[in-house]
Amino acid sequence: MGNLAIYPGTFDPVTNGHLDIIQRGSEIFERIIVAVASSRNKNPLFSLEERVEMLKKTTAGYKGVTVESFDGLLVDYARAQGARVIIRGLRAVSDFEYEFQLALMNRKLNSEMDTFFVMPSEKYVYLNSGLIKEISRMGGDISSLVPGEVLKKLKAKYHK
Ligand code: ADP
């Protein structure tokens, strides 16, 4: 049970920053479930199926990593999977306040839940999915920041 962690997020779309966290996590935990939230309230550019598909393709070579989708409360989902560890990425002080609230709220909802924070490589500290979409839409070069699979999908969305 202690060897399983859940890495939840919207992943709209997955970036090299997310992959960096998954890679680091997979060296510590035997199994990681990347849990893609439907996040309907965030109005994602990619459908849940597309987000799961991109993650499956880009994490295919990672040991012990599986990708699933979930809806509803993360703590309920984690409990159903038998996991008590949540992984989250921490990029900068700006992430801290929200992540701190989320981690303590999740523990309040399920006292067995703990959140492990992982810092990405400094190359990805300024990277987020929102920025990627914005730059891609305006035709900027993001080829070193997202996997090739995602680059293709972004081009198909914005530059038909
Ligand atoms: P959410 O809607 O849950 O914030 P995201 O897909 O934006 O979903 O992020 C999922 C997790 O990945 C969060 O913990 C976030 O801090 C982390 N993350 C996002 N981008 C990066 C990055 N460039 N480096 C490290 N962690 C990141």
Residues 60-84 pLDDT 10s: 999 999 999 999 999 999 999 999 9
pLDDT given for residue 94 in this prediction: 83
**Mean pLDDT taken over the chain:** 95
Q: Domain 4-125, what fold?
A: Rossmann fold (3.40.50)
| Helix or strand (DSSP H, E) at 117 | strand 114-118
Q: What is the DSSP letter of 7?
A: E
pLDDT given for residue 149 in this prediction: 96
Ligand 1 centroid – CA 131 distance (Å): 12
Residue ID of nearest Cα to ligand 1 atom 9? 9
Q: How confident is the model at residue 93 (pLDDT cuts 50, 70, 90)?
A: confident
How many whole angstroms separate alpha carbon 19 and alpha carbon 146? 9
How many whole angstroms separate alpha carbon 102 and alpha carbon 43? 20
Residue 31 has pLDDT above 80, yes or no: yes
Percentage of residues of the chain with pLDDT beyond 70: 99
Q: Full-prediction pTM beyond 0.85?
A: yes
Q: How confident is the model at residue 92 (pLDDT cuts 50, 70, 90)?
A: confident
Structure tokens at 21: 């966290």
Percentage of residues of the chain with pLDDT beyond 90: 94
Domain spans, the chain: 4-125
Residue ID of nearest Cα to ligand 1 atom 12? 89
Which single residue is written with the structure tokens 């987000």? Answer: 51
Ligand 1 centroid – CA 9 distance (Å): 6
22, 33, 52, 54, 124 from 25: Cα distances, Å? 5, 11, 18, 19, 16
Residue 2 has pLDDT above 90, yes or no: no
Structure tokens at 145: 């920041």
Instruction: Identify whether the C-beta of residue 28 lies closer than 8 Å to the C-beta of residue 131.
Output: no
